[in-house]
């Protein structure tokens, strides 16, 4: 759901970075703000953007094949993405790099390590989403006051049913676990890419087995999430 307009489809956000740890941080920060997609190579990012233009793009400046600057240049050549907001995230703070990004029409330029609160506020601003202001906490009550004010449970309601977590909390927990598994897979892929052209067969087999296990766990979590949403609906 789009927090700015419940009737609008979810925002589409593409995260482009070849560092698993950065992808993990960005994904956790933006969880619940839109439909997240990921690309660890520039070519993959361009393919995603060509097939399905996004509402917001976050890209690293340095990629193993195509730089973030070239990705933005290619985006601006497509009328569908001429004004798509882009956040460039990089480990370089040199003024000329920032100036180059601004010349390409980058909306925001951020230097790693990322301030997660600032990133979230920036994304909300670029997407036109009002920041979510938490409701004030209710005043503390004594155990006796809490028991007196609690509504009576309907007949047949068990303790497990009364203490069940709200669907949003459960969904967020499953999504967080999925992101952990995605990060694990990206780390394995990154290690294989950084290794020799002809990796050791045992090491390769172990990495592939780990990736297979992670995919199986992700499948289980997705099924669990779908079942929970069906029950909530």
The residues spanned by each domain of the chain are 12-127, 165-232
The CA angle 10-74-31, to the nearest 5 degrees, is: 25
Q: Which residues contact 30 (CB under 8 A, 6 or more apart)?
A: 13, 15, 36, 119, 120, 123
Q: Whole-angstrom Cα distance, residue 80 to residue 109?
A: 22
Scanning the structure block, which residue is given the tokens 């203490």?
A: 163
Q: Does domain 12-127 have CATH number 3.40.50.2300?
A: yes
Cβ neighbours, 10 Å, residue 172? 14
- Asked whether the whole model's pTM tops 0.85, one would answer no
Distance set, CA 135 to CA 81, 132, 142 (Å): 37, 9, 21
Instruction: Identify the bridge partners of residue 110 per DSSP, sorted by sequence position.
Output: 89
Q: What is the CA radius of gyration of the chain?
A: 22
Alpha-carbon span 78 to 13, nearest angstrom: 17
pLDDT at res. 4: 54
b/e code 51-69 from CB counts within 10 Å (16+ = b): eebbbbbbbbbebeebebb
Residue-by-residue pLDDT tens, the chain, 233 positions:
455 566 778 999 999 998 888 888 898 899 889 999 999 889 999 999 999 999 999 999 998 889 999 999 999 999 999 999 999 999 988 899 999 999 999 999 999 989 999 999 999 999 998 665 444 544 544 445 544 554 554 544 443 333 334 445 455 566 666 777 777 777 777 677 777 777 778 777 777 777 767 776 676 677 666 666 666 65
pLDDT at 116: 93
Residue 105 falls in which region: left (phi positive, over 0), alpha (psi -120 to 50) or beta: left
Query: What is the reported pLDDT for 161?
Result: 38
Q: For residue 166, what pLDDT is reported?
A: 45
Number of alpha carbons in the 13 Å side-chain half-sphere of residue 42: 16
Tokens of 163: 């203490």
State residue 90's pLDDT score: 93
**pLDDT for the residue 108:** 96
């Amino acid at each position: 759901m789009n927090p700015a307009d419940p009737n609008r489809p979810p925002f589409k956000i593409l995260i482009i970075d070849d560092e698993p740890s950065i992808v993990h941080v960005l994904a956790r920060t933006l969880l619940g703000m839109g439909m997240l997609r990921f690309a660890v190579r520039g070519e993959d990012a361009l393919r995603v953007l060509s097939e399905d233009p996004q509402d917001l793009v976050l890209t690293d400046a340095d990629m193993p094949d195509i730089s973030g600057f070239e990705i933005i240049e290619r985006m601006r050549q497509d009328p569908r993405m001429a004004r798509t907001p882009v956040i460039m995230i990089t480990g370089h703070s040199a003024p000329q790099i920032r100036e180059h990004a601004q010349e390409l029409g980058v909306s925001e330029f951020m230097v790693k390590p990322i301030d997660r609160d600032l990133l979230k506020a920036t994304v909300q601003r670029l997407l036109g989403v009002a920041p979510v202001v938490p409701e004030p906490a209710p005043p503390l009550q004594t155990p006796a006051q809490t028991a007196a004010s609690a509504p009576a449970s309907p007949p047949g309601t068990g303790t497990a049913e009364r203490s069940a977590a709200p669907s949003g909390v459960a969904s967020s927990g499953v999504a967080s676990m999925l992101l952990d598994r995605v990060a694990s897979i990206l780390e394995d892929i990154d290690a294989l890419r950084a290794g020799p052209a002809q990796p050791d067969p045992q090491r390769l087999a172990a990495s592939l087995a780990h990736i297979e296990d992670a995919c199986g766990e992700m499948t289980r979590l997705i099924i669990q999430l779908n079942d929970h949403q069906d029950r909530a609906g």
